[in-house]
Structure 1
Amino acid sequence: MEEVPSPMAARGEKPVLHGKYEIGRQLGHGTFAKVYLARHVDTGEHVALKVVPKDKIFKAGMMEQVKREISAMKAVSSHPNIVELREVLATKSKIYLAMELVRGGELFSKISRHGRLREDAARGYFRQLISAVDFCHSRGVFHRDLKPENLLLDEGGSLKIADFGLSAFASHLHADGLFHTTCGTPAYVAPEVLTKKGYDGAKADIWSCGVILYVILAGVLPFQDDNLAAMYKKIARADFRCPPWLSPDARRLLVRLLDPNPGSRISVQRILQSGWLARPGPPGAAMARSTSAPELRRLSPPEQLNAFHIISLSRGFDLRGLFEEEKGMMRFATREPASGVISRLEEAAARAAGGFCVEKSERGVRIEGQRRGRKGPLAVAAEIYAVAPEWLMVEVKKDAGDTLEYRSFCSDELRPALKDIVWADHPAAA
């Protein structure tokens, strides 16, 4: 570890945090945090210890998000199907989250290895998922990133919801009673989240539960396309087909869950009363015979693939050309915090000839020229979306004025200002 909170490590022994947790091997890591196996000194119980460096999250502007994650876990971790947060500790440089150790791995990995579930096994998992989601909503917590990768299995085969990094509370609702932050994993996001008009957090979570149910029953995603924009169109229309091997009750439930109209989408109460869920089914995870290899390849990206790898590989987000000629739009992924992106846009506006003013909004910035061009003053709008905790997507487009002037502004000012913050960690971006 980067910081040893005990002099024991100097003698070759395992470090002990605050005299409570003996810290062992690393279990995993993300962009900002590492997770270690730890043992409670007094009880001998093992936990997963998430270690978050304060300097990194301050630099990334994510301290409020970490606080929100901790608050959400504290509010809901008493439910048996949610990973329990035991306690939070801190040193001068790090935050430590001692969480329940869940040893069975991800539901996603199990499906990827063995194929789709039989309906009785799927029913047991889905019943646990809906129970936990209903509990979260009753506590005013909305997960906003439900997917099989965030569903863990304990040694007994019970499901546990994890990763509340994108969660929100009812207290964060806007004056219209809706959320307006576009976030989540593209294939699991509800259509209303993409419209930028606001959405009900509970209804959006239910849609994600519907996608999860489809995945565990079919072994593939319901909405798939190489182009992210095309996939979003399928999501907006709920353009999917139920596999022929599903029972009529399962098909009816999926159609109700994946209703593109949140007003008529099935509620948790109706889900619990549905004919399919009312049937008896074990909570365990009996697997059907393996799905075909093509299905598994479509469902399972390589281990290191994340949401922005998928974005970069789709035609609409090809980073080999920052500017899209057909649509007159730039889209790119970045690890830079929103404040850093906005600063770069402001710098580009300040350097541009003719003078530009910048107006900030909750979604991004609007840059407007002071000089009248061929079709009036040029205006450029930049919107910023949180797709994952450590990643942002930025969309830049002409809002007014002449297209040639817009292209010149992008080429001469925006490209140089943004070049070193555009994510380019794969060959296609070189």
Structure 2
Amino acid sequence: MDWTRGRAVGRGASATVSVATCRRSGDVFAVKSAELVRSELLRREQRTLSSLSSPRIVGYRGCEITSEDSRIMFNIFMDYLPTGSLADQIRSHGGKLDEPAIRAYTRQILEGLDYLHSRGIAHCDIKSANVLIGDDGAAKIADFGCAKRVGPAGAAATAAAGIGGTPMFMAPEAARGEEQGLAGDAWAVGCTVVEMATGKSPWQAGAAAGADDPVSVLYRIACSGESPAIPGCLSAEARDFVSKCLRRDPRERWTVGQLLEHPFLESHKLGSSQAEQTNTKSPTSVLDQEFWDAMDEAESEAATTGGERIESALDRIRTLSFREGRPCRPCDEGWITVRVGGSDAASSSSSSSSWRSSWVGDEMDDASAVGGERWVGLPQGCGNCGNSCEYGEKCAVIRISLDLQRHECRFPELMSRFS
């Protein structure tokens, strides 16, 4: 495949993940790369991932060996999920998630593990950083570098496969070097629930001395007889669920199949609408997530429980565009500020040739230019045609597209896209 490597989006001990683009089709995907001489873990991941196909597992697209900067690289291609990981979601929600989101993500992770376990595979490194979030808000398990094939009893032969994973998420039997298999994944799910509820790794949640030292934590996991503290902020059902995950004896620990039947998850089976609600982001244009994705909770309830229901994007645009009087934009918070010659657009009547958008954050290059156009919010008129535009205030109500080369009003074209 003829492709181009883009910016790096993640780095681990043995591999780097970058955004890549297919030169022929323009398709964007993720590539995970390591030098061939140091690619044993990545090649193991490729063998595992290539045998899997599930909506709860990150999609595999192939592999390739390349020569780059005098280095021979081993690459595996996967679906690119720009929303990021579950760890990113925790950070973006103030360091912890509410219980409905925890329930939703936990069920999705368990569904992915149930698929893996049915195929005799233990992941061995479940944690929020190894769970990616799709565009629909659903969780997908990633990073199979530590995955192992297990025997009929559900435990990997540690003498042959060794012990791998993240120390703070290891089960006691793995920390002691005895076995690492399916039961260890159930322990890690409990640790991940603690992480979602507190924003901290499971053994940091209790804030004990030495909680940041992996060696001290491993000794504590293996020999202390303790389990991670279960957050008191969780409901009784959630706390009981975590306690079933964190039983120190793997023979007493609940299996993934049993956990899927626990009342904590059974009381609210995940639907697609809930998956979308657990993952929200600010749109970069009117067409990025579509209008209804940017509605706040109150507006969403109003749209579905009372009043006139808007059935299509075209209906929604018409409602916004053909309203009489001055524009009314209750959802302006969070939109990009547009400036003209360094001053706010609201106080300027300059032509669109001087319009530039003021971007905040690291997404400037990716978000500000799509197809040679800028998506801008205009306070009055269309900013380009002014009072001479036959569409007048209608252009201001929606976020119109200005072609910075032709300098013409794109309102008719935008409307035609939804016809």
TM norm structure 1? 0.55
Q: Return the alpha-carbon distance in structure 1 between the equivalents of residues 126 and 242 of structure 2.
A: 16
Q: Which residue, out of 53, 57, 62, partners 1:87?
A: 62
> The residue matched to 2:26 in structure 1 has which SS?
coil
Q: In the alignment, is the contact (CA less than 8 A) between 1:190 and 1:207 conserved in 2?
A: yes
- Distance change >3 Å, CA 137–CA 28, structure 1 → 2: same
Q: 1:247-284 CA distances to partner (integer Å, 9 max, x unpaired)?
A: 11111111110000000100112111110001225224
1:104 & 1:80 partners in 2: Cα distance?
16
Instruction: Give 1:88 deviation, angstroms.
Output: 0.9
| Cα distance in structure 2, aligned partners of 1:33 and 1:229 | 24
The offset of 1:175, in angstroms, is 13
In the aligned structure 2, how far is the partner of 1:27 from the partner of 1:255?
A: 35
Aligned residue runs from structure 1 range 335-350, under 5 A: none
SS of 2:31 mapped into structure 1: strand
Q: Residue type matched to 2:143 in 1?
A: D
Equivalent residues in 2 for 1:167-186, closer than 5 Å? 167-170=147-150, 178-180=157-159, 181-186=162-167
Structure 2 gaps of 5+ residues are 280-419
User: Structure 1 residues 31 and 276, CA, compared in 2 at 3 Å: closer, same or farther?
Assistant: closer
Call closer, same or farther: CA 1:90–1:190 in 2, change over 3 Å.
Answer: same
CA distance in 2 between partners of 1:176 and 1:22 (Å): 41
2:6 is matched with which residue? 24
2:175 matches 1:194: yes
Counterparts of 2:14 and 2:198 in 1: how far apart (Å)? Answer: 34
Q: Per-residue CA shift, 1:224-264, capped at 9, x if unaligned?
A: 34154543454342334333321111111111100000001
Query: What residue identity is the alignment partner of 2:170?
Result: V
**Residue 73 of structure 1, aligned match among 39, 42, 49:** 49
Aligned to 2:96: 116
Matches within 5 A, 1:202-281: 202-224=182-204, 225-226=209-210, 227-228=213-214, 230-232=216-218, 234-236=220-222, 237-280=225-268, 281=270
Gapped regions of structure 1 (runs ≥ 5): 1-17, 288-430
Q: Determine the C-alpha separation between the residues in 1 that align with 2:79 and 2:33.
A: 14
Q: Tell me the CA shift for residue 143 of structure 1.
A: 1.3
Q: TM-score, length-normalised on structure 2?
A: 0.57
Q: CA deviation at 1:220?
A: 2.9
Q: Report the more deviating stretch, 203-212 or 26-35.
A: 26-35
Residues 19-418 of structure 1 correspond to what in structure 2 (within 5 A)? 20-55=2-37, 57=38, 62-63=39-40, 65-76=41-52, 78-91=53-66, 93-113=72-92, 114-170=94-150, 178-180=157-159, 181-199=162-180, 201-224=181-204, 225-226=209-210, 227-228=213-214, 230-232=216-218, 234-236=220-222, 237-280=225-268, 281=270, 282-284=274-276, 286=278
- Change over 3 Å in CA distance of 1:91–1:130 after alignment to 2: same
Structure 1 residue 157, shift from structure 2 partner: 1.6
The structure number with the bigger radius of gyration is 2
Contact 1:141–1:170 (8 Å) recurs in 2: yes
Preserved contact between residue 157 and residue 285 of structure 1 (Cα < 8 Å): yes
Equivalent residue letter for 2:54: H
C-alpha distance after superposition, 1:196-246 (max 9, x if no partner): 2334x1001111111001111233333234154543454342334333321
Q: Secondary structure at the match of 1:75?
A: coil
In 2, distance between residues paired with 1:233 and 1:36? 36
Backbone CA RMSD of aligned residues: 2.6
Which structure features the higher share of strand residues?
1
Q: What is the CA deviation profile of residues 299-338 of structure 1, one whole-angstrom value per residue up to 9, with x for unaligned ones?
A: xxxxxxxxxxxxxxxxxxxxxxxxxxxxxxxxxxxxxxxx
Deviation, 1:94, is 2.2
Q: Given that residues 75 and 139 in structure 1 are in contact (C-alpha distance below 8 angstroms), is that contact kept between their aligned partners in structure 2?
A: no
Identity of aligned residues (%): 28
**Mapped partners of 1:87, 1:177: distance in 2:** 27
Contact 1:125–1:284, Cα closer than 8 Å, also in 2? no
Show the counterpart of 2:327: none
How far did 1:132 drift? 0.5
Shift in Å, 1:144: 0.9
Q: Distance in 1 between matches of 2:140 and 2:156?
A: 29
Question: What SS class does the counterpart of residue 50 from structure 2 fall into?
Answer: helix
Question: Within 1, Cα distance between the matches of 2:216 and 2:11?
Answer: 32
**2:231 & 2:30 partners in 1: Cα distance?**
38
1:80 aligned partner, one-letter code: P
